[in-house]
Amino acid sequence: DAKTTQPTSMDCAEGRAANLPCNHSTISGNEYVYWYRQIHSQGPQYIIHGLKNNETNEMASLIITEDRKSSTLILPHATLRDTAVYYCIVRVNSGNTPLVFGKGTRLSVIA
């Protein structure tokens, strides 16, 4: 079972920042927070991951609360091509542990 809780859907205006929340209150000390997205009829695409520090890359920023029980994925300037289902996943970063997907958040970017 997925260990995260995300809103079912969100809308965002094109050009604005999209902030996608995720609750992971039972996260263990050795589990990372991963974000993937899936555009319709494609395989999931890696976005970003982190352990406890905030992270930023060319796609997004990841803000993790100090207690690590929740996080927020930020797409700074959403475009129509960012419309997708966004999955927040917690997983240990070792061994053969696979990514287990929950229901994710369907983000619709509106022109």
Partner 1 sequence: GAVVSQHPSWVICKSGTSVKIECRSLDFQATTMFWYRQFPKQSLMLMATSNEGSKATYEQGVEKDKFLINHASLTLSTLTVTSAHPEDSSFYICSARALSGSSYNEQFFGPGTRLTVL
Binding site for partner 1 (CB under 8 A): 36, 38, 41-46, 87, 93-94, 96, 98-104
The least distance separating partner 1 from the CB of residue 25, rounded to whole angstroms, comes to: 20
Which of 111, 96, 104 lies closest to 20 in space, CA to CA?
A: 104
The least distance separating partner 1 from the CB of residue 81, rounded to whole angstroms, comes to: 16
At 106, phi and psi to the nearest 5?
-85, 110
The least distance separating partner 1 from the CB of residue 108, rounded to whole angstroms, comes to: 15
| Strands of the sheet with 84-92, listed across from one edge | 9-13, 105-110, 84-92, 31-38, 45-50
The least distance separating partner 1 from the CB of residue 98, rounded to whole angstroms, comes to: 5
Nearer to partner 1, 14 or 52 (CB): 52
Nearer to partner 1, 21 or 101 (CB): 101
Nearer to partner 1, 65 or 97 (CB): 97
Instruction: Round to whole Å and give the CA distance between 88 and 104.
Output: 7
C-alpha dist (Å) from residue 3 to 25, 71, 74, 76, 98: 8, 13, 20, 26, 13
